[in-house]
Amino acid sequence: DVDVALAGRSYRVKVGPGLLERVHADAHSFIEPYGKRAVPVVADANAKRLHGERLQASFRSAGHSIDWYEVAPGESSKSWDELVRLTDWLLDRGVTRSDHVFALGGGVVGDLVGFACAILKRGCGFVQLPTTLLAQVDSSVGGKTAINAPAGKNLIGAFHQPSLVLADTTCLATLPQREMRAGLAEVFKYGILGDADFLARVDSESSAILACDDATLESVIAHCVGMKARVVAEDERETKDARALLNLGHTFGHALEAETGFSDRLLHGEAVALGMVLAARYSARRELISLADAERVADALARAGLPTEISALGLDCDGSTLAHHMRNDKKAEASTVPFILLRAIGEAFVARDVELADVAAFMDEQL
């Protein structure tokens, strides 16, 4: 277990197989106040179909029932329309500020429910039950919640920490391999940005992770959560550089996602893998690391089956179009944009002097 220690309060993140069957044991203090009222559980439709029964059994055995709210799978559910429907539904059920709403699903459901709970009656509690690898290692921990706006992803949101996170590794057995790999990119991220030994370990254990070996999953996910918990404890609202480092690969990656229309053509984790390779190669271009080190990063990701060459995407755009997307990214300032670069494998830092024109020229070479 990992504790996320924040000023004033902290919460627990549990990782392991079978946690959904025993949710009541870990979350009873958030369930008991409902008494005879049904407990609101907001679930991704696929997660509910595949894992809802295990959750329901745990509630039932403790004498509680579930009131399900189903969310259609996909990024388009992080919308104003869905937020209005969900908050109205929660209000209809009389959810109060001292109540907890349960979120079962990947990052989409976690981000949506977290934001709904941030604004419902000025803030009610929520419990994260992440069911994707990405959500278990990243999005369910740390309190960033958001929906998307026409102007861009995650532009409407709030910081709102969950009260408990239960990451049941059994859920990952039903996750499509492509989603598993996309989540693995964020696992690699922790190693590349801050822990070269962990990167070597993930590299050698990537097949065991993708095959959902329980012991490997549990220890690797707990390691990622531990790193994220330390960063969030140090820099909850990303006002220092610590939390920004978690965006390694994301400025490059978001530009690729924007250019592919945030569609199934390129999953977020795949974009992050490509983005980390670009960050490493751009660091080499700036002579911060050797080209050999940059290719070491790319090779590790490629061995895990992740994309590493943007030329293979067949994008119909040039480097300056991609640089333009980077400026539109929410972290943008004037003609320079803060980029997370590497001064060594396992040592990322925030570079504030990166000229977008130079990035555009670099991207032209990569396309």
Q: Which residues bind ligand NAD (CB under 6 A)?
A: 44, 46-47, 50-51, 73, 75, 78, 105-109, 111, 131-132, 134-135, 138-139, 142, 144, 153-154, 171, 174-175, 179, 268
Cα separation, 321 vs 364, whole angstroms: 10
Whether 324 sits among the annotated catalytic residues: the reply is no
Nearer to ligand NAD, 254 or 281 (CB): 254
Nearer to ligand NAD, 44 or 205 (CB): 44
Catalytic residue among 48, 51, 189, 250: 250
Whether 100 sits among the annotated catalytic residues: the reply is no
Three-state DSSP class for residue 316:
coil
- Distance of closest approach, residue 21 Cβ to ligand NAD, in angstroms: 14
- Distance of closest approach, residue 108 Cβ to ligand NAD, in angstroms: 3
Q: Nearest residue by C-beta to ligand NAD?
A: 107
- Distance of closest approach, residue 357 Cβ to ligand NAD, in angstroms: 28
- Distance of closest approach, residue 104 Cβ to ligand NAD, in angstroms: 8
Nearer to ligand NAD, 130 or 319 (CB): 130
Cα separation, 222 vs 19, whole angstroms: 14
Nearest to 349 by CA among 273, 289, 290, 292: 289
Burial of 277 (0-12, 13-18, 19+ CB in 10 A): buried
Nearest to 300 by CA among 146, 153, 219, 189: 189
Cα separation, 357 vs 323, whole angstroms: 8
Spacing of C-alpha 112 from chain mean position: 13
Whether 352 sits among the annotated catalytic residues: the reply is no
DSSP assignments along 168-222, one per residue: EGGGGGGS-HHHHHHHHHHHHHHHHHH-HHHHHHHHHHHHHHHTT-HHHHHHHHH
Cα separation, 220 vs 226, whole angstroms: 10
Nearer to ligand NAD, 142 or 338 (CB): 142
Catalytic residue among 22, 46, 186, 257: 186
Nearer to ligand NAD, 247 or 356 (CB): 247
Cα separation, 268 vs 290, whole angstroms: 27
Catalytic residue among 48, 181, 228, 281: 228
Catalytic residue among 24, 247, 257, 270: 247
Catalytic residue among 24, 48, 100, 144: 144
Whether 331 sits among the annotated catalytic residues: the reply is no
- Distance of closest approach, residue 182 Cβ to ligand NAD, in angstroms: 6
Nearer to ligand NAD, 279 or 284 (CB): 279
- Distance of closest approach, residue 331 Cβ to ligand NAD, in angstroms: 14
Catalytic residue among 254, 257, 259, 270: 254
Q: What is the chain's percent helix, strand, coil content, to nearest 5? A: 55, 20, 25
Catalytic residue among 153, 243, 281, 325: 243
- Distance of closest approach, residue 48 Cβ to ligand NAD, in angstroms: 9
DSSP strands (E only) in the chain:
2-6, 9-16, 39-44, 66-71, 100-105, 125-130, 144-149, 152-159, 164-168, 339-344, 347-351
Cα separation, 8 vs 199, whole angstroms: 33
Nearer to ligand NAD, 32 or 80 (CB): 80
Cα separation, 267 vs 363, whole angstroms: 20
Whether 144 sits among the annotated catalytic residues: the reply is yes
Whether 243 sits among the annotated catalytic residues: the reply is yes
Whether 254 sits among the annotated catalytic residues: the reply is yes
Catalytic residue set: 122, 144, 186, 228, 238, 243, 247, 250, 254, 268
